[in-house]
Structure 1
Amino acid sequence: MDVLAMPFGKIYDLLVQKVVRKCGDGADVDRATLWLTGYAKEALDEAKASPVSYGDFFRQAPEPNPLRLEIVGKVCGVSVADIEDGLWRDVRTLDLIVDRLAKGRRLDAILPH
């Protein structure tokens, strides 16, 4: 199944579990997602409980943070900066942030200011 078609809440739970299992705080995934997409906390919570797809969650982001484009690194051997499709770049940027959180990095050290 295409990850973009999967329910946002299901994928999101997996991202939080990865961070918590490895050593982090699951709330950092919320903070990173809010920073990345511009959603309000209430809207994020609603999306987690709704049937919205992972792809639609990113497509409908109210105010994607322009600084998200400054986040660089590789996910599955692919440089995030080299991903031309904006939707996939945003999806992989969140993956990259989660990977770094799971390695014990602090969120304020990951996100550009």
Structure 2
Amino acid sequence: MTQPRIYTTSFSRVYPMYVAKAEKKGRTKAEVNEIIYWLFGYDDASLKKTLEQEKDFETFIKESPKKNPLRSLVTGSVCNVRVETIEDPLMREIRYLDKLIDELAKGKLMEKILRSKNPA
């Protein structure tokens, strides 16, 4: 079975698309970065280095500094597929990011996007 093409796609190629989607809806690159930092544990320096090295999506996720344990609270649909039902762990991580960027573009508050530690 062949891997989905997104796994071998450079994250630095997709990242500007995330930023453009957010900015088109009045959000910022800083907010996109905040999502990436929250979800995968990157910081300014490590994200910049990853983008410069043009790491593929698979490497970007597998080498992430610290995946947030609250990421499993990300639920809902991306491309008509429920994120929480995706069996492939790598694809689920990619869809977590897609879902949070979608929420950002839809105007959701950052406090809601970055699931609170004490969900009500």
Q: What is the TM-score of this pair, normalised by structure 2?
A: 0.88
What residue is the counterpart of 1:65 in the other structure?
68
Runs of 4+ in 1 over 3 A off after TM superposition: none
- Give matches, 1:1-20, under 5 Å: 2-20=5-23
Compare CA radii of gyration and give the structure with the larger one.
2
Number of aligned residue pairs: give it: 113
Unaligned runs of 5+ in 1: none
Helix, strand or coil for the counterpart of 1:94?
Answer: helix
For 2:62 and 2:7, locate their aligned partners in 1 and report how far apart those are by CA, in whole Å.
Answer: 10
Unaligned runs of 5+ in 2: none
| Contact residue 73 and residue 80 of structure 1 kept, 8 A | yes
Helix, strand or coil for the counterpart of 2:102?
Answer: helix
For 1:93 and 1:50, locate their aligned partners in 2 and report how far apart those are by CA, in whole Å.
Answer: 23
Helix, strand or coil for the counterpart of 1:68?
Answer: helix
- Give matches, 1:29-108, under 5 Å: 29-108=32-111
Give the alignment's Cα RMSD to 1 decimal: 1.2
Shift of residue 40, structure 1, vs aligned partner:
2.4
For 2:18 and 2:66, locate their aligned partners in 1 and report how far apart those are by CA, in whole Å.
Answer: 21
Shift of residue 92, structure 1, vs aligned partner:
0.3
